[in-house]
Amino acid sequence: MANLLKLFYVLLFLSIPVSSQLDELFYAGFKDVGTNIALSGVAEIQTSGILRLTNETSRLMGHAFYPSAFRFKNSNTGKAYSFSTCFALAIVPEYPKLGGHGFAFTIATSKDLKALPSQYLGLLNSTDLGNFSNHLFAVEFDTVQDFEFGDINDNHVGIDINSLVSNKSVAAAYFSDDSTKQDLNLKSGKSILAWVDYDSAENIINVTLSPFSSKPRTPILSFPLDLSPVLDEYMYVGFSASTGLLASSHYLLGWSFKMNGPARDIDLSSLPSLPGPKKKHTSLKIGVSVTVVVFALASIAIALYLIRRMRNADIIESWELEIGPHRFSYQELKKATKGFKDKELLGHGGFGRVYKGTLPKFQDPSRC
Ligand SMILES: *[C@@H]1O[C@H](CO)[C@@H](O)[C@H](O)[C@H]1NC(C)=O
Ligand SMILES: *[C@@H]1O[C@H](CO)[C@@H](O)[C@H](O)[C@H]1NC(C)=O
Ligand SMILES: *[C@@H]1O[C@H](CO)[C@@H](O)[C@H](O)[C@H]1NC(C)=O
Ligand SMILES: *[C@@H]1O[C@H](CO)[C@@H](O)[C@H](O)[C@H]1NC(C)=O
Ligand SMILES: *[C@@H]1O[C@H](CO)[C@@H](O)[C@H](O)[C@H]1NC(C)=O
């Protein structure tokens, strides 16, 4: 009996750290998360339940992390665990087509990153860049091409290890079926689902994107990687976003995460909807200025037309009035020559054909 009790206590003791260790998260919107998300920088949860990491003001950062650390490594073997995450993001740029700066899923030793905005994406600063003792892993969704970090374009997804020089990056896209790759605009302002799957047995990390709820079978980015030396035993998971000279609002609409198993699916239609096209102000401005431009162009066109008409109008000069009319309109000449009939043709001269014509009636041009 005593032995059984002892065994029971041992089992209880063993099970406490295991069962109290949370290994799964699921947020379809962030309305009632309370203290289950730690925000810093300008990150905030809006009344609709959307988590906004940054707004459209320059050089800002926003962070959102799960408040407790996850155990990412087997302390005996030092081997990192598999994990899987799925999240819905949306990037609404201040100016269409010009993003600033980017968004990242990150696993870090701290949820209080001493980082910089702009091209640093709120992940690192200029002194710790490339320092392996940072233990930082990120999947960046970058909307600016930084030549400093060898970015491939202004719409890419990359795998970053303690650096913003991606170990591998690809232009944002998704597979609509196993072999058809479609371009995907990260800064379209529309919701995008992203999956990051790490398999610690295969030592591979996959990133999959889609504008729809169902997960494409083919990842857009697949990178052979053993995260064991990169990660510490306990790590925080979350998101970072930054703005630079150009700015975007970076939104997180939903998030699921799981250690050692596939993350729960997220249905885009179950998430809070993004703030409507709040570009009304801009479109009104554009509308107004287009109207002004059209009106100005029309006025110029009318003015030019009137000037031309005035120029082309027969100008009767004062000397003509004194000696009588010397000019006749085409209509008058046509009538007088009976439509330039051959019968009325007198001959060919240096100025062309010469016709005989009878003017119907003398008209005083001064009365015209
Ligand atoms: C963005 O957030 C910052 C900090 O909260 C604030 O100062 C700024 O006015 C906001 N910008 C806009 C465009 O709302
Ligand atoms: C840069 O980041 C490192 C590591 O997070 C931190 O120790 C350091 O204080 C930071 N430096 C600045 C200037 O913020
Ligand atoms: C890397 O970071 C660690 C801890 O922040 C620091 O002690 C070390 O000096 C840094 N190494 C370099 C090369 O900056
Ligand atoms: C990732 O890139 C950094 C340099 O940016 C390099 O030090 C590191 O070894 C690379 N890691 C892998 C797994 O390729
Ligand atoms: C990663 O992608 C490859 C290629 O599609 C696939 O064979 C593998 O099962 C995927 N692994 C994970 C963990 O998603």
Domain shared by 103 and 171, yes or no: yes
Per the domain annotation, does 4 fall within a domain?
no
Q: Which residue puts its alpha carbon closest to atom 12 of ligand 3? A: 131
Could you tell me if residue 333 is inside a domain?
yes
In this structure, are 165 and 65 located in the same domain?
A: yes
Q: 188 and 297: one domain?
A: no
163 lines ligand 4 (CB under 6 A): yes
Low-confidence ranges of the chain (pLDDT < 50): 1-2, 4-5, 7-19, 280, 320, 325, 362-368
Query: Does the residue 77 lie in any domain?
Result: yes
Q: Does pTM top 0.85 for this prediction? A: no
Among the atoms of ligand 4, which is closest to the Cα of residue 224?
13
Based on the domain organization, do 309 and 331 belong to the same domain? no
- 91 with 222, same domain: the answer is yes
Answer whether residue 7 is part of any domain: no
Please check whether residues 22 and 149 belong to one and the same domain.
yes
Q: What DSSP string runs through 81-124? A: PPEEEEEEEEEEESBTTB--SEEEEEEES-SS----SGGGTTT-
pLDDT per position as a tens digit, 156-199: 999 999 999 999 999 999 999 988 999 999 999 999 999 999 99
What is the number of domains present in the chain?
3
Q: Which domain holds residue 293?
A: 280-313
Q: Note whether 307 and 326 are same-domain residues.
A: no
CA 54 – ligand 1 centroid, Å: 8
What is the DSSP code string of 185-238?
A: -TTSSS-EEEEEEEETTTTEEEEEEESSSSPPSS-SEEEE---TTTS-SEEEEE
Say if residue 249 is in the same domain as residue 333.
Answer: no
Contact status, residue 186 vs residue 153, Cβ threshold 8 Å: no
- Closest ligand to 208 CA? 5
